[in-house]
């Protein structure tokens, strides 16, 4: 379908980091009929509520940026919720959109859908070729079912349902709660807190620097990071163009070690203390670099460098510290 400025576009999860970035991008591009509901207004786990909402609002395009998300700790502690709630949310959205005759649906997932030991960089064709990383398999299994549901609708009914799999995301409206956040925002929070605690404790000028920061694992795994505003641009690009396949990786195609990431964030935050690596904690997948050649061939490429993106994210963090309870992704 061809979009215009008043196409009715529903963004599920529009208050989260990803959904809000997509909303801002669409607004800035001149789209005027954006639809969003908070989790308090619409429980996406409730099938009837979702159907009633679609009947009332009549969206023409759906972007699924809604999910229960979290890092290794949260996935380990709440496996059932991460599996079931994510399947409920996406199944209700995908099936209701299909039943309502909606032709354009964008499903957002994660690079964790790929096998733990898949060859690097990760190609879309590696899906379901090996075991998943155990520390986030519950979320990954749910997301795989969403990818396959969209693929089935595309294959059987010819509708333009596509899945975009972003690499690790960060940026404005990220989750900085140390119990549930991902690695990059957690590091920003830890280095900042250690720096501020050092100032507040009035340490001597001759001390060795800021309070030390302890990080999980060995620091050797390699990760790729994408600024959420780049993902928003990729989503809008996918909305405005016809893609040939059902599954596309979205990333930068570049990675670094967790140790290198920590040192970069430490420099940006201005923390001067020691970094302690707790090797008793899990590392997760050894490497997760995305092959982004399909998106590149389609005409889209990420623009934001990692250092620039982290600087912008830390500036946002400093501006919004008092609001984090309201900004956590539900």
284 in the Ramachandran plot: left (φ > 0), alpha (ψ -120 to 50) or beta? left
Q: Annotation-wise, does 190 bind a ligand? A: yes
Q: Annotation-wise, does 182 bind a ligand? A: yes
Residue 225: how many other CB atoms lie within 10 Å: 22
Task: Write down the catalytic residue from 10, 31, 114, 139.
Answer: 139
Q: Annotation-wise, does 216 bind a ligand? A: yes
Q: Annotation-wise, does 2 bind a ligand? A: no
Q: Annotation-wise, does 75 bind a ligand? A: no
Q: Any catalytic annotation for residue 139?
A: yes
Q: Annotation-wise, does 19 bind a ligand? A: yes
Which of 89, 47, 49 lies closest to 67, judged by CA?
Answer: 89
Phi, psi angle pair for 216, to nearest 5° = -70, 145
Q: Annotation-wise, does 7 bind a ligand? A: no
Which of 122, 182, 208 lies closest to 328, judged by CA?
Answer: 182
Q: Annotation-wise, does 192 bind a ligand? A: no
Q: Annotation-wise, does 169 bind a ligand? A: yes
Residues 6+ apart with CB under 8 A from 195: 210, 211, 269, 270, 271, 272, 273
Rounded-to-integer distance, Cα 293 and Cα 270, Å: 36
Q: Annotation-wise, does 20 bind a ligand? A: no
Q: Annotation-wise, does 293 bind a ligand? A: no
Q: Annotation-wise, does 16 bind a ligand? A: yes
Angle at 140 between CA 304 and CA 284, to 5 degrees: 70
Q: Annotation-wise, does 201 bind a ligand? A: no
Q: Annotation-wise, does 271 bind a ligand? A: no
Query: Residue positions in the annotated binding site for substrate?
Result: 190, 216, 223, 283
Query: Residue positions in the annotated binding site for NADP(+)?
Result: 13-19, 108-111, 143, 166-169, 182
* Catalytic sites, residue numbers: 139
Query: Residue positions in the annotated binding site?
Result: 13-19, 108-111, 143, 166-169, 182, 190, 216, 223, 283
């Amino acid at each position: 379908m061809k979009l215009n400025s008043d196409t009715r576009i529903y963004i599920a999860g529009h208050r989260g980091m990803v959904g809000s970035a997509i909303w801002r991008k669409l607004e800035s591009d001149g789209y005027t009929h954006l639809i969003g509901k908070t989790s308090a207004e619409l429980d996406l786990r409730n099938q009837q509520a979702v159907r009633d909402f679609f009947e009332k609002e009549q969206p023409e395009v759906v972007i699924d940026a809604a999910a229960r998300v979290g890092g290794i700790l949260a996935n380990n502690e709440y496996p059932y919720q991460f599996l079931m709630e994510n399947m409920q949310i996406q199944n209700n959205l995908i099936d209701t959109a299909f039943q309502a005759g909606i032709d354009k649906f964008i499903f957002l997932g994660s690079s964790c859908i790929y096998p733990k030991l898949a060859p690097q960089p990760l190609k879309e064709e590696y899906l379901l070729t090996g075991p998943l990383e155990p520390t986030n398999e519950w979320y990954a299994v749910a997301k795989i079912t969403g990818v396959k549901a969209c693929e089935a609708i595309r294959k059987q009914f010819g509708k333009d349902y596509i899945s975009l799999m972003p690499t690790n995301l960060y940026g404005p409206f990220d989750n900085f709660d140390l119990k549930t956040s991902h690695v990059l925002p957690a590091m920003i929070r830890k280095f900042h807190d250690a720096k501020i605690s050092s100032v507040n404790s009035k340490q001597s000028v001759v001390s060795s620097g800021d309070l030390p920061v302890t990080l999980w694992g060995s620091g050797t795994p390699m990760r790729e990071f994408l600024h959420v505003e780049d993902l928003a641009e990729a989503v809008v690009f996918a909305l405005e163009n016809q893609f040939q396949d059902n599954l596309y990786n979205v990333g930068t195609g570049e990675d670094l070690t967790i140790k290198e990431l920590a040192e970069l964030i430490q420099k940006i935050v201005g923390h001067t203390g020691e970094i302690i690596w707790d090797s008793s904690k899990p590392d997760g997948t050894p490497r997760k670099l995305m092959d982004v050649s399909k998106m590149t061939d389609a005409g889209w490429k990420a623009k934001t460098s990692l250092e620039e993106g982290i600087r912008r994210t830390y500036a946002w963090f400093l501006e919004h510290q008092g609001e984090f309870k309201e900004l956590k992704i539900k």
